[in-house]
Amino acid sequence: MRAAARRFPLFSSIPSWLLAALLIGSMATWHMVRDESYSVILSALTKGIFTTLYVSLIAYAAAITLGLFFGLMRISSNRVIRESATFYIEIIRGIPMLVLLYYIAFVGAPSLVKGLNWMLTPMIDMGLLDKLSVRDISFVFRAILALTIGYSAFIAEIFRAGIESIPSGQMEAAIASGMSRRQAMQYVILPQAVRTVLPPLANDFVAMIKDSALVSALGVQDITQLGKVYSASTFQFFETYNVVALLYLAMTLSLTLGVRVLEKKLSAST
């Protein structure tokens, strides 16, 4: 291995586990390419790739926004705000993601519809709006909402830790220079904190890609759900779930490598 690394410098920057994974993945891909049934399965699951990425990207973008909001609340000097954020974070983190998914889909969504209908009663009575139904809220939206709420609690703690890692003297110096506390947080503390929390945020996105498979429990047509339907209709369970696993591995390993490159660049620039 060392001799190969000297001949090919690229090998020295690639972990051994990744070389083994690439070798196994290449062999599996070659076998699938030669087997016609695998190409049929892959074409059947193609739509699920888009759904998986769509749900994950939208949910994660919303989770980052909500997580930053609660992260800032966690470091507030106001005890009521701070304790409210802590209550939300601890409760959400204590609920399994699948349970939260079911709760949002079958309890939260109907409650949301009832609340909106109650608020819009005058406009509904005047005929300006139609009464909302639970069926108007798609299961894709419910899945995105559940993933957003679930991951926002973890992301809030990431932001809190990142902000608290910045020396308090920088906030004091910014305030002393004439900035308000909000301006100091926006222009001095947050840019540095974001730099610190980028790797763990990226790792959480990898985790969300994997957890997005849970949305198949709601019938959302992601990779897992399409694989479940296809294997049940053809009884090709072995082949179908090989393809499902390979698709998830391709996405998560690519993102993991991106995270490693990001970490090296950030550590080199500090």
Q: Is the pLDDT of residue 159 over 70?
A: yes
CA distance 7 to 256: 26
Position 18 confidence tier, pLDDT thresholds 50, 70, 90:
low
Q: Is the pLDDT of residue 11 over 60?
A: no
The pair of three-digit structure tokens given for residue 158, joined into one six-digit string: 């990431």
Hey, how many other C-beta atoms are within 10 angstroms of the C-beta on 156?
27
For residue range 98-110, what is the model confidence (pLDDT) as tens digits?
A: 999 999 999 988 8
pLDDT tens profile 166-224: 888 888 888 888 888 888 888 888 888 888 888 888 889 999 999 999 999 888 999 99
Report the predicted TM-score, pTM, of the whole model to 2 decimal places: 0.83
222: tokens are 């992601």
Q: Residue 250 is encoded by which pair of tokens?
A: 């391709």
Q: Between the CA of residue 220 and those of 43, 48, 52, 223, 227, what are the distances in Å? A: 18, 9, 9, 9, 12
> Which domains occur in the chain, in start order?
14-269 (1.10.3720.10)
User: Between residues 236 and 270, which one has the greater pLDDT?
Assistant: 236
Query: What is the number of other CB atoms lying within 10 angstroms of the CB of residue 58?
Result: 17
Query: What tokens were used for 152?
Result: 């926002």
Q: Residue 3: pLDDT above 60? A: no
Quote the percentage of the chain above a pLDDT of 90.
Answer: 37
d(CA 252, CA 104): 26
Give CA–CA dist 164/192, Å, rounded. 11
pLDDT at 15: 66
Q: Give the mean pLDDT of 240-251.
A: 88
- CA-based nearest residue to 213, from 143, 149, 141, 142: 143
Contact 262, 201 (CB under 8 A): no
User: What distance in Å separates the CA atoms of residue 202 and residue 255, rounded to the nearest whole number?
Assistant: 8
What token pair was written down for 101? 């998914």
Q: What is the rounded distance in angstroms from the CA atom of residue 162 to the CA atom of residue 204? A: 15
> Has residue 5 got a pLDDT over 60?
no
pLDDT, residue 4, reads 47
Please choose, from the candidates 213, 73, 92, the residue with its C-alpha nearest in 3D space to the C-alpha of residue 148.
92
Q: How far apart are CA 90 and CA 157, in angstroms?
A: 10
The pLDDT-based confidence of 33 (bands split at 50, 70, 90) is: low
CB 243 within 8 A of CB 233: no
- Tell me which amino acid residue 240 is: T
Could you tell me the pLDDT band of residue 117, with boundaries at 50, 70 and 90?
confident
